[in-house]
Structure 1
């Protein structure tokens, strides 16, 4: 029987160390493979198929929620549990909408985390209750704390919107997979509470997140 393996995608070294120690005691038969970003995983994906994937929501660069699309494409139906220090109902709902199998707060007690991993390994979805997460409507933006701003990657995408209109053109200019660009844009529009890319660009300029004097790449046919 092959050794079960978990894939952990998290940029917080202390959390990775804590989970490694926790699993060493509770599941010594399991192997934990760690990466600190979606970019690192996409550059060198493991040759094996993990039994369970643990994915941090607030990764630098490619956001954890946007990374779900790539994980589904590469690993199929392998269960994905989202991890976050923010126990936010809106984030939970977005993770559910995008196809995650569960959500675990990083502030949860160790036994609660182990129980979530056990349930996921048995094929059960793991969602906090109450409240039961609900799918957000297309017009309902994610509730973000005061002072939220897009990641550096998301700002690059917003800046590129001034030159490129299609996902294909954006993907080529930013040197990112098209489905990552599509997922990041979808999340940005929901969080900004806008319904079009043009509105997203206008709002980003109003917030000072992009500049009319900066460009990304050379314009290509869109």
Structure 2
């Protein structure tokens, strides 16, 4: 592989609970740039701790979704909420299209199977660093499963509250979530239902039988995005 493929002076965080995996990824990445800085973590808790440090500014996070410390969807949503400028690329031993879509819906900027060759990893990182989103071709080509199999439990809760007309602040209060996290879930629901706005999302969900028609609510016509 040719040195200099990645931009110089970047700082990556490799997070995986297996030392050999971390070392393999480190060797692959540092072979591309002599000035690339790589930090390591073996749990989500350590990732969260490193992200709080003022003396490190990460350009990209490469994270195993099966690490201990948190559910991957919640962990990615938390990272996107607290460090929205840092792209997250998920690495996994699975290449299940449903799992891939869930990770992307939660805010991941890319997904790379551990069985992929180094050239695929490098191409994915280049795309993500350029502002794109990398999804494996196998996931793009796979026929879309039923929508009910793709929505997470939290997304379903948010969808039901959208049907009630609840604004983001009310959803956040009821579910005990931060407002930016609610916005991430709402955006994921809209993407999964191919809806342009909340009204279309609710209509499509009712058409698919995902939710019952909403009963009269005291919320009234709440503003759609507050």
Aligned to 1:54: 62
Residue 43 of structure 1: which of 28, 37, 49 is its match? 49
- Counterpart of 1:17 (choices 12, 20, 23) is 23
**What does residue range 24-173 of structure 1 map to in structure 2 within 5 Å?**
24-45=30-51, 46-47=53-54, 48-132=56-140, 139-140=148-149, 168=176
Give the Cα–Cα distance (whole angstroms) in 2 for the partners of residues 12 and 30 of structure 1: 21
Count of aligned residue pairs for this structure pair: 154
Q: Is the 8 A contact 1:93 1:134 kept in 2?
A: no
Runs of 4 or more, structure 1, over 6 Å off, are 133-138
| Whole-angstrom CA distance in 2 between matches of 1:134 and 1:38 | 32
Query: Unaligned 5+ residue runs, structure 2?
Result: 1-6, 152-173, 186-209, 211-226
SS in 1 for 2:107: coil
In the TM superposition, what is the alpha-carbon distance from 1:138 to its structure 2 partner? 6.3
1:84–1:105 contact (8 Å) kept in structure 2: yes
Q: Deviations over 1:85-129 (max 9, x none)?
A: 111111101012111111001111112112211222222211111
TM-score by length of 1: 0.59
What stretches of structure 1 of length at least 5 have no aligned partner?
143-165, 172-178, 184-194, 196-222
Q: CA RMSD in A?
A: 3.3
Report if aligned partners of 2:41, 2:47 keep a CA contact under 8 Å in 1: yes
Paired with 2:88 and 2:44, the residues of 1 have a C-alpha distance of 14
TM-score, normalised to structure 2, is 0.58
